[in-house]
Structure 1
Amino acid sequence: MNVNFKTIEKNATHVMLCFILLFSGLVGFCQSYPNPYQLVENWAKLPEGRTMGAVGKVTIDPDGEHIWAVIRCDAIEPDRFGDECLDSDLDPILKFDQNGNVVQSFGAGMFIWPHGIDVDKEGNVWVTEAVSDKRRPEGDKRGHQVIKFSPDGKVLMVLGKPGIAGNGEYEFNSPADIIVADNGNIFVADGHSQEGNNRVMKFSPDGTFIKSWGKTGYGPGEFKSLHALDIDSRGRIFVADRGNNRLQIFDQEGNFISQWTQFGKPSGLAFDEHDKIYVADSESDNLQNPGWEMGIRIGDANLGWVDYFIRLPTFDPQNTKTNGAEFIAVDKYGNIFGGEPGPRKLQKYVRVR
């Protein structure tokens, strides 16, 4: 057996340096991870005559193959952001097949700024409406709610008080995301803005309030714009605490377990069937998270090691606008799907090595 001791020494030095940087809070400078993925150009195809709007969260159907996505109407006004579906008659909830074709859509006229989406094990589709009151016309009853649809788009349940922001047990303030556990319990990330409620809310399967935890702040169990959440194979809830540049981990009763900073400034996250975690970083730059790069980090969902990094090719540390994937999903084949609001793209990545 031929052993390359120089390579071993180099790798050991690299690992030791990463440990030092990690405990110094500078792990962002240690980002020489491999990228075994390749972008599939022009994957998503919309019906004729429709242009791609800002893409919100993406998620996978229970069949493991179809992809659900929030598409905020169209891109007729390219600089418009925050209320793109206000006066649109387009469906913002779209289902794609593996070839990127739309096979189903619904929700026209029901949203101003849809944001988060989840599909439960029965195939029901849950969507959050995260429009802020600054962008919602006075008297408009859309906003500050979570809507449950049947697989074919029939409204089954509405959580929150439509058009009314609040911090009560049945109120939201721009809810950013939702995840439904295997037992049917509902977890909502409330809310999108740093000045919002900054809490996780838990409901029973029939929509009865159970509890909430969190407040605005920097400590464990405190948030500064919780942007997304998901549940791993162990039942732990991971929260993308984007404003604090970290993932926070809780049990389903809201007890704090840990926090991870090695995945950058997280906007979105997902898990696959092999206990891997995928984290989308669309905000790191020289102002918001110096020393880090935008892209998708992939690692071990148990130990927290980062194994791969899909660097955003157009990353510019001087540009403070959102770029690349804010949201992420992984199908049963290991393909990655990234929802990009700023560039207005729904991207697909396949593993090639």
Structure 2
Amino acid sequence: MFRKKQLWIVMIGLMLFAILILVDIGTKEIIYKDPPQVIAQSPHYKAEVIWPLTMKDKEIAGEASGVAIAASGNLYYLHRGSSSYGGDKRITEPTIIEIDPQTKEVKKRWGENLFVSPHGLEIDPYGQIYVTDTILNQVFKFSPEGALLQTFGEEYPFYLEWTLRIRNLIPHFPTGINADTFARPTDLTVGKDESIIVSDGYRNHRIVKFDASGKRVWEVNQFGANAGQFHLPHSITQDKDGNLYVADRNNARIQVFTPDGSFRESWNQSELGRPFAVDVGLDEHIYVADGGDALYSEGNQEQSQIVILDRNGKFLSRFGAWGTQVGQMKIPHDIEVDHRGTIYIADLQNKRLQAFYKTEQK
């Protein structure tokens, strides 16, 4: 009984300490850049809103979170309905919208009462759908029909939130977390063997690979701004050779890793802005959603851009403007490119999915 009382005293003390330093954590060591020169519109792309189009869908549309393309060609769009990032209740609206990209017809709406704060969306070569939830701290795998097949990630104890916040200020602070527990996972990429690599995320600052059965294979896990370290890995994708591209958001850069998780290089040129999401096109160009600094306490630049790089990280172009008009964005949260070169953007604060169609072939 005495030991239990001591444990509770220690835990309460840790929580109080965490509260005292909470304000500092969100801004500590965040990298800021001078805003790059931008082009509001590109002559090579024409924009269109894909969803929501009907009054019914506009009534349920919430924060735009993710977008993915199935092998069938259909689009899958993830949003947060009447909730928002960090919500505390199950979302009652259908959060996953399946769309025919040619006709704009909604084929299916589902995902109600499944998620609390859905964040990342991915579809594997077999049409299976994966969603990360930053409050449930798990990755969910669904069949193409929406049946839950598998859940990755162990239970997230109540005290972890506080101990992880302290650890991010005091390296090596004991947290009690194990390597199979996610702490605000943001995104994932899936291999042909159904292995998954998760960017994990707001608290853990790591990327971690699991095989199809859920067994952990490797992880890269270190908080910081040096090569191979992370400060909010927010998005992850891979190219045809399995090389990994991570949007290291608070460090305002893209980091590149080999298929086994070895660090290869880092791209932090000013033209990148602040990468929120990254995708690789069939043309092997790297497409980046620059969400700017609007969500940051020291950020005064309302910037939303699409950035295109070659496979070696060489800057090719960037375009887009902040706003609510078609073609404008208010924080592009996710990006996906189809086989035609069409760029799809989950437009966070505008609560919509936009497409940018190529108007000429290069």
Which letter does structure 2 place at the counterpart of 1:188?
V
Match 2:193 to one of 183, 194, 197: 183
Q: Which residue of 1 aligns with 2:133?
A: 129
Report the equivalent of 1:81: 84
Q: Distance in 2 between matches of 1:201 and 1:352?
A: 38
Q: In the aligned structure 2, how far is the partner of 1:218 from the partner of 1:88?
A: 35
> For each residue in 1:242-295, what CA deviation from the matched residue of structure 2 results, as whole angstroms up to 9, or x when unmatched?
000000000122110000113221001111111111100112469767889431
TM-score by length of 1: 0.78
Aligned counterpart, 1:112:
116
CA distance in 2 between partners of 1:210 and 1:68 (Å):
28
1:253 to 251, 260, 273: 260
How far is the alpha carbon of 1:70 from its aligned partner? 0.9
1:297 partner letter: V
> Residue 67 of structure 1 aligns with which residue?
75
CA RMSD of aligned residues (A): 2.7
Deviation (angstroms), 1:30: 5.1
Q: 1:48 to 1:198 in 2, by over 3 A?
A: same
- Size of the aligned set, in residue pairs, is 302
- Counterpart-to-counterpart distance in 1, 2:60 and 2:225: 40
Structure 1 position 84, deviation (Å):
5.1
CA deviations on 1:40-80 (whole Å, 9 max, x unpaired) are 146543582633111101111113x2111111124xxxxx6
Q: Distance in 2 between matches of 1:291 and 1:45?
A: 30
Give the match for residue 317 of structure 2: 308
1:275 aligns to 2:284 (yes or no): yes
Query: Hey, which bits of structure 1, 4+ residues long, moved more than 6 A?
Result: 289-292
Q: TM-score, normalised by structure 2?
A: 0.76
Aligned amino acid, residue 81 of structure 1: S
Which residue of structure 1 lines up, in the alignment, with residue 142 of structure 2? 149
Q: Name the CA distance, whole Å, in 1 between partners of 2:134 and 2:153.
A: 12
Q: Mean alpha-carbon deviation: is it higher for 322-331 or for 279-288? A: 279-288
CA contact (8 A) 2:38 2:320 kept: no
Matched residues in 2 for 1:86 and 1:326: separation?
22
Deviates more, 1:49-58 or 1:232-241: 49-58
Please report how far the alpha carbon of residue 100 of structure 1 lies from its aligned counterpart in structure 2 after TM superposition: 2.7
Instruction: Give 1:130 deviation, angstroms.
Output: 0.7
> In structure 2, what is the equivalent of residue 332 of structure 1?
339
Deviates more, 1:305-314 or 1:208-217: 305-314
In structure 2, the partner of 1:9 is none
Counterpart CA distance in 1 for 2:349 and 2:41 is: 26
Contact 2:38 2:319 in 1 (8 A): no
The aligned amino acid for 1:170 is: D
Q: Give the fraction of aligned pairs with identical amino acids, expressed as a percent.
A: 25
Structure 1: how far apart are the matches of 2:187 and 2:33? 29
1:239 is the counterpart of 2:246: yes
Q: Which moved more, 1:46-55 or 1:111-120?
A: 46-55
Q: Structure 2 matches for 1:212-231, cutoff 5 A?
A: 212-231=219-238
SS in 2 for 1:161: coil
Give yes or no for contact 1:33–1:307 (8 Å, CA) kept in 2: no
**Within 1, Cα distance between the matches of 2:263 and 2:139?**
25
* 2:211 is aligned with 1:208: no
Q: Deviations over 1:92-150 (max 9, x none)?
A: 1221111333212322111100000110011100110112xxxxxxxxxxx01001000
In structure 2, relative to structure 1, the CA distance for the partners of 1:110 and 1:292 (3 Å cut) is closer
| Alignment of 1:264 onto 2:273 | yes
